[in-house]
Amino acid sequence: MKTAAAVITLLPFLTLGNGQSSVSFLEPNCGISISGSRNSKTRVVGGQVADMFGNPWMAFIQSSIFCGGSLITIRYVLTAAHCRSNSPAVVYLGEFDRSTNIDCSSRGCLPNAVGIHVDAQLGHPSYTDFGHHNDIALFRLARPVQYTDYIKPICVLTNYDPLPLIRSFTATGWGETAFSRGSNRLLTATLSHVDRSYCSIYGRVDSSQICVAGYDSHVCRGDSGGPLFAMVNIKGVHRVVQAGVVSFGHQNCRHVSVFTNVVPYVNWIVDVVRRGGAQLYPQVPRPNRYWYFSG
């Protein structure tokens, strides 16, 4: 995740209008951190270091490549299909600084991160590297994780599309910065929702994808699979709702980027979660030429 200038950024925030009483979630206890609604007012100078306590759904995926992801239930992490590999994978939850065992700030310390092996890497059945469409996957944890104040799921809305209301997003990840191959600390970027025509430089981008642009910060290699989200006021409760998954962008990480839109895949996500991932999909080889943001 690259940052160009020091500015003050605010977490995107919106309030659902009509129909919010009927909004349902994949996991009811979702999208609330111990930072609470302060997330909507947390100021991060430079748009760099994320709130240590504000992203309990963030997952670090370690395999032959490394990616980000988001915890969506006690057993599943949502990520990008191109983050799959033929190597064993471990998901780390409750992580902030990968270089330390215990992460502390003036507000307190995080417990040790929890590492859980992945026993199934489930890519969408229509995924293909050529065109980058359907770039979404579910990684099934070998055992259920126990929710704590520091490990919680992000919200996935199952019957409501918030995307038309969102003009600004937040993305988080441990990807490349302007100064290093990968960040030890979790970083954050504020990104703008722009028309898909801006992403036509990569070929066809359709409604299953989201085109975003950053003024002072961008996603980059190592950020793949991480969440694109906004804070939403639902019935008076401020919840973080996932809208997208980091997919691909330009090699220099300074142009518009493409995220997989979560909404068109909600039925598939719900089906896999309910069935326990019984149907496994074959690994798709990756081509030599790609602009993916995996590490």
Distance of alpha carbon 141 from alpha carbon 47, whole angstroms = 31
Selection from 124, 139, 64, 82 nearest residue 290 by Cα: 82
Q: Are 127 and 80 in contact (CB under 8 A)?
A: no
Report the catalytic residues: 82, 135, 224
Pairing of strands 227-234, 13-15: parallel
The upper half-sphere exposure of residue 4, i.e. CA atoms within 13 Å in the direction of its Cβ, equals 11
* Coil, helix or strand at residue 271: helix
Q: For 255-280, b where at least 16 C-beta lie within 10 A, e where not — what string?
A: bbbbbbbbbebbebbeebbeeebeee
What is the distance, to the nearest Å, from the Cα of residue 205 to the centroid of all Cα atoms in its chain?
Answer: 19
Total number of residues shown for the chain: 295
